Structure 1
């Protein structure tokens, strides 16, 4: 933890479904940081989250503040024999306070415990804060996929691929 924010990272559970879905919708509404775009179907997102919790190849953690309010989440999926794929989001008011680093560290620890050889992720090229976070944890840029994702407005956005070898 850094700054004045006190929080903990813990394993996600089914009771977190609504907070995770609503936070996904909130971050999606910013239109810049995650693949999802509004409107996010909260009920559908809750159902997907619950299914992921039942997946033994997935690791899902949430960050909560001292009052147990949701502030961020991360998920990793073991693609054995391939790498773990990773994604996360943090609510805007809690960014740059160590939450993303703590969530990422949980995914890396889980990945190492599973004997995974590599963790990979995708990030928008304009998300300089996230790219910096990943680089501080040892991730390297492995490629750029031009015009990889079509946004609802028709724009085609590039994606940066990043990876961290664990063994």
Structure 2
């Protein structure tokens, strides 16, 4: 099946929410294990579309199968910082979709004038860490025992890149 990576549109909200829900339900890759309600996701996407923030989706047929967004911080004096969020549903991993999503989102974020892009990733998610390194992210630190879920602790790796 052909996969298209493009900037998100308002009619993608439900598909994006479904993809987010699917990845969150795995409890392995996202800090959240339950997605926000659909109305909050709609508000998030609407703001990103309205303000031309870097939010991209991978679409197979009529389904959103992955996403990447880099949204500027809302705190005063930190508007130059964008935070990455991304995911690809299980059945579509390993096909280069995350690579293309990340490439497009990063390019968009730089065009928007962001100066620092940051993310947090679980230390045991080696595939994601390698992908981020490929796209110039560098490790800045580790939060030890940052999450406790299902009787196990996970460290979180803090990564960033910047252009000043």
Q: Structure 2 unaligned runs (5+)?
A: none
Provide closer, same or farther for how the CA distance between residues 48 and 59 of structure 1 changes in structure 2, counting only shifts above 3 A: farther
**TM-superposition CA deviations, 1:97-139 (whole Å, max 9, x none):** 1110111112111111112111100000000000010111111
Partner of 2:158: 161
Q: Does 1:9 align with 2:5?
A: yes
The alignment's TM-score, normalised by the length of structure 1, stands at 0.84
- Partners of 1:143 and 1:155 lie apart in 2 by 21
Partner of 1:64: 59
Give, in angstroms, the shift of residue 35 of structure 1.
1.4
Moved more, 102-111 or 48-57: 48-57
Q: Structure 1 unaligned runs (5+)?
A: none
* Aligned counterpart for 1:54 among listed residues 31, 46, 66: 46
The alignment's TM-score, normalised by the length of structure 2, stands at 0.85
State the number of aligned residues: 157
- Partners of 1:50 and 1:58 lie apart in 2 by 14
